[in-house]
Structure 1
């Protein structure tokens, strides 16, 4: 895997001489440096150019250096380290877990957890982080079904966790708070999902009572392979495609993007000529759920009652 924690070099007052420390503080007052936490700075130019995940990873490294040795990066912070999507989780600072009954007092920028069960963890770039399976289960228990599914789908798709490992970790949670959600997540995750948008779509389909689709269905015509589609309902002959452009910022004015849009149009025309209906939706449609479901039902995909995940 990549080493996402090498996002930027942190400048630390603790490792600087008195004169260097004063220089760092002056640079921060001039906005040349960005203060990440007490005694830790990063270049303002670099900070402005990176996304929220990279900023969070910098905050992880800055905070972990000041914690006790038994601190393990966990929850959404562990997901960031492993490169897993964080969907439906608040941006509430760095998360760490300590063995024992008390993790200490949390702050706005540091959420402390404690665990009385074995804490499966690994070392990534010199930092202790919860295992992938433990990370997925923690997200499900703390933040709910959607958060667990998005991370679990991605982990399975990348091959960095197995379903058996997820099952074992969920079983270890016993009857603790959120354990039913974690087991529900493990029974639902699917490594064929290729993006957080597809995971979100699957969760909303489940909640709104739509029939379970086949994932990554291959469509062929008389000329051969046409494409592999995100979702397929055989009875209705309906194809569902999550369109991530609006979330991931693909501008139609960019030449490469325009070429891709043309290729997608040609592909979609071929799909329709096979006698199927193609339904597309965006991140916003899937997040709200109802717009996506309405389009699918209009196309002939029907289902029973809605289904909500367990909350505990």
Structure 2
């Protein structure tokens, strides 16, 4: 069953590999394989290690085999495009427009018709809504922070432009959710380097704080100190989002040990403070809780916008 570690496997695939249906079912029963939908199996070990977006992408791939004419949208398109979705991934996949399944309901598939023209692209053999449409769809339905993280990533990765997003939102007229989408597009920035930074900025906007510059280069008499996540120049405050990922060797493109990275971070912060900046740090837990994040900002001295 090694092939299941690389892709979704159906009973027909298994037969070509010399594995009969009973063996396939036994492998699913004992956990060597996981059934992600009807007649679609993946390697159990890899599934157990997979993150939320990776699991949803597998579900999309499996559904695409059953629905070859489907156009995947919303979070399902986001998984294909590689966009982050804060707040959790749905258990069902999303498709829009007509598909070969006709009107019948399929387990694990949420189908919505649309009065809008559905512009699509093919990514890895899967038909999805365009990246700009995907971002705007999320912005019309999901919370502001979730949609902002997706929009920021799409801009940073060069998958969309600000002009494309603005034109698409303008073309929607007064439809449901357009006001929220317009709010997201107005604040989206390709300068945000992580979903955590996008979440933090979303909270600043929701609270109504004075907004900082993003990814500012900080210098002292010795030269460049480095770039900081957030910088309030008139306040002399540096803001840094602390995601644990930056200290895990297997999830960053940095071969230094976690201890070395922590030490370098301390030296960097010492230089920032010596140059006259106040440094405030916060975590995922802080940013998820609006009231808690507002308290972090208040204690740091970041005021409300006038």
Q: TM-score when scaled to structure 1?
A: 0.87
**TM-aligned CA deviation for residue 165 of structure 1:** 1.0
Matched, 1:201 2:200: yes
Which stretch shows the higher mean deviation, 26-35 or 235-244?
26-35
The match for 1:259 is: 260
Question: How many Å apart are 1:276 and its aligned residue?
Answer: 0.9
Could you tell me whether the CA contact under 8 Å between 1:103 and 1:114 is conserved in 2? no
Aligned to 2:6: 8
Larger relative contact order (Cα-Cα within 8 Å, sequence gap ≥ 6): 1
Q: Which residue of 2 aligns with 1:284?
A: 285
> Is 1:300–2:301 an aligned residue pair?
yes
Aligned pairs (5 A) from 1:90-101 = 90-99=89-98
Gaps of 5+ in 1: 1-5, 306-312
CA RMSD of aligned residues (A): 2.5
Output the CA distance in 2 between the equivalents of 1:13 and 1:301.
59
Partner deviation per Cα, 1:194-216 (whole Å, 9 max, x = no partner)? 00001000110111121011111
Q: Give the total of aligned pairs.
A: 295
- TM normalised by structure 2 equals 0.89
Structure 2 unaligned runs (5+)?
A: 250-254
| Structural mapping, 1:18-37, within 5 Å | 20-37=20-37
Asked if the contact 1:79/1:85 (under 8 Å) is kept, the reply is: yes
1:236-272 residue CA offsets vs partner (Å, 9 max, x unmatched): 1101000001x67738xx9711110000000000000
Structure 1 residue 14 displacement after superposition: 4.2
SS at match of 2:276: coil
Runs in 1 of length 4+ with deviation above 4 angstroms?
14-19, 102-108
2:5 touches 2:42 (CA, 8 Å); kept in 1? Answer: no
Is residue 2:60 matched to residue 1:60? yes
| SS class of match (1:206) | helix
d(CA) in 2 for partners of 1:137, 1:159: 16
Alignment of 1:215-234 (within 5 A): 215-234=214-233
Tell me the CA shift for residue 90 of structure 1.
4.9
Structure 2 counterpart SS, 1:54: helix
Q: Which residue of 1 aligns with 2:252?
A: none
Deviation at 1:217, TM superposition (A): 1.1
Per mean C-alpha deviation after superposition, the further-off stretch among 223-232 and 168-177 is 168-177
- Distance (whole Å) between structure 1 residues aligned to residue 81 and residue 139 of structure 2: 16
Retained in 2: the 8 A contact 1:229–1:240? yes
* CA distance 1:108–1:67, change in 2 (3 Å): closer
The separation in 2 between residues aligned to 1:88 and 1:123, in whole angstroms, is 26
Give yes or no for contact 1:95–1:110 (8 Å, CA) kept in 2: yes
- Asked if the contact 1:232/1:239 (under 8 Å) is kept, the reply is yes
- CA distance, structure 2, for counterparts of residue 138 and residue 106 of structure 1: 22
